[in-house]
């Protein structure tokens, strides 16, 4: 397909790449050089969204009739194509995000992305995810069924693994049986376009409805809000900033449409004094590796740490301060992230935090600023817990120095919802009671509670919860990562009452369904009914 140099890229609607109906366009920025990239991408008007919705609704009716096996094959074919096109995808993402080609993009995020699609395929094939439940006494059987077209708004920080047509929300939505309308993140449209091309090839190769995967690059905010509230939409997955996420949430909520949001999180980490006495240097190394990884641009970046007063705490803070000063400042994802980081740091300073290192050092030739470590004491934190929980997304962190364990607990009890919370304690177990108190205070406020381990690195595990109480996400009962759990977001519970055997979804019929675990009269089993 040949496109005039000045035309923005086409959108993918109903299986066709065609010029967008747009009044304006935009380009991504190469954050390593602070320069705009080619090509340009369209800002779609409502008519594009409307057509995509119509096509998605029709595709959904077709998908409802397909065997899960066919959806699994699509996901696997797509995963293979992603692996086969690794170099081109990595090049595109590097140009648009500045994330390291290796190991980050090529060796970590890309394999994670294709494996995530394969895990979703396995879940679709087995049907395990749908919690089939059979009650032979009443003749009622239930299972989670697909919900309808899913809109996916991907974030800027994981161009592959959370990408709107390649990532976790995408994989979960498709595996549960729904078509996806992807809204590319504006910071990496070319990367997203390349994924959509591969997806379209897989759709053709495996015979799925052409509109199973569609792609728009950008819309007005108003049209985004209209999209998530549209009657043709089943649900929305959004990962990104809090303010735009909450606007989408308000629109979806008002229309009674499920929306799953992953918003901001500062991911508190708390250290017992004994743990720092025992292995403060080791922990300092672990911490700085985690907090500066990917220039601090992880959803689970540990940006808020509680360190006890006293010598062990002083040494620990001195150690991480040195490491912050010594580590090279990574490139940030975009000019927008740089701006947000500066403003986040300024908010913390205005609230009363003191800069230990960094705080400035902006570089004009690329999107970057010095690694920044701030500190405040526990009393000040308790006076304005909300202010000191402001997120400074990027290579910055706030250390809260607390007087004693009791003050730490009081601070923890005032935390907002977060994706993760970590407690470090001594291996000897001498501080076990203290550690338990910290865990007790943290647990209701976090989606994942860790011991002696940093929160970055979100395993694609059946036991993973990449979620948490508001405002970390929009609902505390769901995870965005991990198969099979993540699929449940894009499904509706459906009971079949007195329905004839041959009209039931195959997974609910008497004969054993290939590989599916089913809850039959209270007992989980892979056997036939009766």
Return the structure tokens found at 76: 């696997």
The residues, any chain, with a CB within 8 Å of residue 523's CB and separated by 6 or more, are none
Binding of residue 465 to a copy of itself (CB under 8 A):
yes
Say how many residues touch a copy of itself, by CB under 8 A.
77
Instruction: Kindly write out the interface string for residues 372-411 of this chain, putting x where it contacts a copy of itself by CB under 8 A and - elsewhere.
Output: ----------------------------------------
Question: Which of 76, 225, 273, 299 is an active site residue?
Answer: 299
Binding of residue 477 to a copy of itself (CB under 8 A):
yes
Q: Could you tell me the smallest distance in angstroms from the CB atom of residue 114 to a copy of itself? A: 19
Return the structure tokens found at 463: 């036991």
Q: Binding residue for a copy of itself (CB under 8 A) from 118, 193, 226, 249?
A: 249
The Cβ of residue 361 has, within 10 Å, a number of other Cβ atoms equal to: 12
User: Three-state SS for 176?
Assistant: coil
The Cβ of residue 459 has, within 10 Å, a number of other Cβ atoms equal to: 11
Longest distance between any two alpha carbons in the chain, whole Å = 72
Region label for 394, one of left (φ > 0), alpha (ψ between -120 and 50) or beta (otherwise): left
Q: What is the DSSP secondary structure assignment for residue 423, as one 8-state letter? A: E
Return the structure tokens found at 110: 């890309």
Nearer of residues 341 and 516 to a copy of itself, judged by Cβ: 516
Binding of residue 451 to a copy of itself (CB under 8 A):
yes
Residue whose C-alpha is closest to residue 307's, from 345, 355, 354, 272: 272
Q: Confirm whether 262 is a catalytic residue.
A: yes
Q: Could you tell me the smallest distance in angstroms from the CB atom of residue 435 to a copy of itself? A: 7
Binding of residue 463 to a copy of itself (CB under 8 A):
yes
Angle between helices 86-97 and 68-84 (to 10 degrees): 70
Binding of residue 240 to a copy of itself (CB under 8 A):
no
Nearer of residues 94 and 298 to a copy of itself, judged by Cβ: 298
Q: Could you tell me the smallest distance in angstroms from the CB atom of residue 494 to a copy of itself? A: 6
Q: Could you tell me the smallest distance in angstroms from the CB atom of residue 304 to a copy of itself? A: 18
Region label for 2, one of left (φ > 0), alpha (ψ between -120 and 50) or beta (otherwise): beta
Nearer of residues 8 and 474 to a copy of itself, judged by Cβ: 474
Return the structure tokens found at 203: 């759709």
Return the structure tokens found at 235: 């649900």
Nearer of residues 161 and 200 to a copy of itself, judged by Cβ: 161
Q: Binding residue for a copy of itself (CB under 8 A) from 17, 452, 509, 510?
A: 452
Binding of residue 245 to a copy of itself (CB under 8 A):
no
Binding of residue 495 to a copy of itself (CB under 8 A):
yes
Q: Could you tell me the smallest distance in angstroms from the CB atom of residue 473 to a copy of itself? A: 9
Binding of residue 450 to a copy of itself (CB under 8 A):
yes
Q: Please give the residues from 118 up to 177 whose contact with a copy of itself meets the rule CB under 8 A.
A: 128, 133-135, 137-138, 140-142, 144-145, 147-148
Q: Please give the residues from 252 up to 291 whose contact with a copy of itself meets the rule CB under 8 A.
A: 253-258
Binding of residue 326 to a copy of itself (CB under 8 A):
no
Q: Confirm whether 299 is a catalytic residue.
A: yes
The Cβ of residue 25 has, within 10 Å, a number of other Cβ atoms equal to: 17
Alpha-carbon dihedral sign for residues 462, 476, 467, 226: positive
Q: Please give the residues from 404 up to 433 whose contact with a copy of itself meets the rule CB under 8 A.
A: 417, 420, 432
Binding of residue 499 to a copy of itself (CB under 8 A):
yes
Nearer of residues 189 and 421 to a copy of itself, judged by Cβ: 421
Q: Report the distance separating Cα 217 and Cα 186, nearest Å.
A: 7
Q: Could you tell me the smallest distance in angstroms from the CB atom of residue 275 to a copy of itself? A: 13
Nearer of residues 2 and 498 to a copy of itself, judged by Cβ: 498
Residue whose C-alpha is closest to residue 343's, from 329, 359, 326, 321: 359
Binding of residue 247 to a copy of itself (CB under 8 A):
no
Q: Binding residue for a copy of itself (CB under 8 A) from 91, 462, 509, 529?
A: 462
Q: What is the DSSP secondary structure assignment for residue 526, as one 8-state letter? A: S
Q: Report the distance separating Cα 190 and Cα 183, nearest Å.
A: 12
Q: What is the DSSP secondary structure assignment for residue 508, as one 8-state letter? A: G
CA distance readout (Å), 417 to 167, 347, 389, 467:
24, 20, 11, 9
Binding of residue 493 to a copy of itself (CB under 8 A):
yes
Question: Which of 76, 109, 225, 262 is an active site residue?
Answer: 262
Residue whose C-alpha is closest to residue 455's, from 420, 418, 430: 420
Q: Report the distance separating Cα 373 and Cα 210, nearest Å.
A: 50
User: Three-state SS for 371?
Assistant: coil
Q: Please give the residues from 21 up to 50 whose contact with a copy of itself meets the rule CB under 8 A.
A: none
Q: Could you tell me the smallest distance in angstroms from the CB atom of residue 91 to a copy of itself? A: 31
| Residues designated catalytic | 262, 299
């Amino acid at each position: 397909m040949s496109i005039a140099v000045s035309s923005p890229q086409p959108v993918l609607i109903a299986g066709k790449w065609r010029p967008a109906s747009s009044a304006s366009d935009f380009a991504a920025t190469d954050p390593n050089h602070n320069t705009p990239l080619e090509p340009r991408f369209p800002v779609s008007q409502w008519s594009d969204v409307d057509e995509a919705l119509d096509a998605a609704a029709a595709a959904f009716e077709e998908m409802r009739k397909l065997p899960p096996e066919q959806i699994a094959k699509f996901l696997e074919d797509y995963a293979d194509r992603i692996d086969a096109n690794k170099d081109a995808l990595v090049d595109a993402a590097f140009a648009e995000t500045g994330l390291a080609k290796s190991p980050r993009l090529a060796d970590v995020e890309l394999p994670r992305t294709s494996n995530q699609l394969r895990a979703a395929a396995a879940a679709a094939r087995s049907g395990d995810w749908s919690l089939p439940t059979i009650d032979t006494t009443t003749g009622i059987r239930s299972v989670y069924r697909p919900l309808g077209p899913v809109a996916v708004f991907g974030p800027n920080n994981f161009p592959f693994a959370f990408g709107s047509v390649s990532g976790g929300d995408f994989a979960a939505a498709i595996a549960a049986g729904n078509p996806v309308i992807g809204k590319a993140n504006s910071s990496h449209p070319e990367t997203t376009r390349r994924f959509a091309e591969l997806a379209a090839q897989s759709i053709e190769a495996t015979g799925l409805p052409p509109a199973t995967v569609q792609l728009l690059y950008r819309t007005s905010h108003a049209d985004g809000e209209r999209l998530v509230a549209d009657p043709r939409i089943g649900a929305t997955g959004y990962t990104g900033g809090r303010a735009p996420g909450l606007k989408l949430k308000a629109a979806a909520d008002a229309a009674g449409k499920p929306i799953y949001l992953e918003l901001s999180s500062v991911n508190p980490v708390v250290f017992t004094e004994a743990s720092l006495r025992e292995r403060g240097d080791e922990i300092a190394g672990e911490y700085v590796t985690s907090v500066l990884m990917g220039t601090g641009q992880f959803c689970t970046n540990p940006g808020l740490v509680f360190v006890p007063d006293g010598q062990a705490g002083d040494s620990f803070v001195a150690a991480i301060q040195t490491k912050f000063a010594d580590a090279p400042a990574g490139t940030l994802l975009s000019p927008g992230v740089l701006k947000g980081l500066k403003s986040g740091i300024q908010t913390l300073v205005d609230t009363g935090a003191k800069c230990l290192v960094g705080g400035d050092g902006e570089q004009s030739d690329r999107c970057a600023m010095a690694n920044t470590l701030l500190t405040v004491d526990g009393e000040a934190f308790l006076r304005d817990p909300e202010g000191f929980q402001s997120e400074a997304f990027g290579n910055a962190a706030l250390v809260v120095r607390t007087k004693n364990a009791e003050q730490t607990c009081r601070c923890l009890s005032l935390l907002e919802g977060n994706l993760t919370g970590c407690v470090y304690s001594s291996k000897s177990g001498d501080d076990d009671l203290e550690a338990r108190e910290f865990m007790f205070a943290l647990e209701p406020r976090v989606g994942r509670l860790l011991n002696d381990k940093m929160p970055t690195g979100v395993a694609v595990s059946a036991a993973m919860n990449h979620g948490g109480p508001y405002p970390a996400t929009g609902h505390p009962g769901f995870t965005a990562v991990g198969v099979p759990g993540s699929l449940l977001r894009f499904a509706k519970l459906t009971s079949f009452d007195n329905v004839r055997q041959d009209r039931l979804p195959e997974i609910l019929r008497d004969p054993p369904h290939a590989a599916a675990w089913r809850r039959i009269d209270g007992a989980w089993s892979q056997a036939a009914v009766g």
